[in-house]
Each structure stands twice: as structure tokens, then as C-alpha cells.
Amino acid sequence: MPRLIRPNLPPDVEAAVRFMGNRAQANVLRQLAILGPSTIGQLQAELDIGRPSLNRHLETLEDDGLIETDPPRGVRQGRDVTYTVQPRRIRSLARTYLDYVEGN
């Protein structure tokens, strides 16, 4: 059986590959861009995705700086979280990815 080769990529290239290579995450980002700041309930109403999966995608997007949350992680205790897309970060990662694949 062939082995999966995982090249050691720069962190920002890894982040770009994660969100651009994942349809669900791309759709979450798109919905946030369309809706504006939203709660998980508002997003779930627009997306055909289960809450646990949506939670995982939001955590990954937050870790990669593609969304911001209010309140921030660590002070959420029982509070609704509002998610906001970060378009500058998305554009920055997209440029970084293109530079990488073009050999720059």
C-alpha cells in the first residue's frame, strides 16, 4: 500500500492548505462572510453540518486566525460565542500559498 507523504510545510502554508482543502471549512468561512458576525446556532441554521463537526471546524479556523471570537477562548463559560471572519488573514494565507506553490 502506498505511503502518504506529508511534506514539512511552513505553518502559514499548512493553515492555507487546511482551509482551502476542506469544503466544510470553506463553506463556514463563506457563510460568516455573508452573514457577518454569527453564533454557532445561526451558522448551523444556514449550513448542513452537525454541531460537533461545526465546532471542530470553528476551532480549527480560530486556531489558524481565520476567524475571531467574542468572548475569546478561555472566558466563554456558558456564554454565546460570536464568530467573525478575518478577510485580511484569508487573503494573506491565500497569497502565501500561491507564493509557495510558485516556488517563491
Q: What is the pLDDT of residue 44?
A: 95
Q: Return d(Cα 101, Cα 78) in angstroms, integer.
A: 43
Q: What CATH number was assigned to the domain covering residues 11-101?
A: 1.10.10.10
Q: What is the pLDDT of residue 91?
A: 96
Domain boundaries, the chain: 11-101
Average pLDDT, 10 consecutive residues per value, the chain (104 residues): 77 90 94 96 94 96 95 81 96 94 90
Alpha helices in 1-104 (DSSP H): 11-20, 23-35, 40-46, 51-63, 87-101
Q: What is the pTM of this model?
A: 0.85
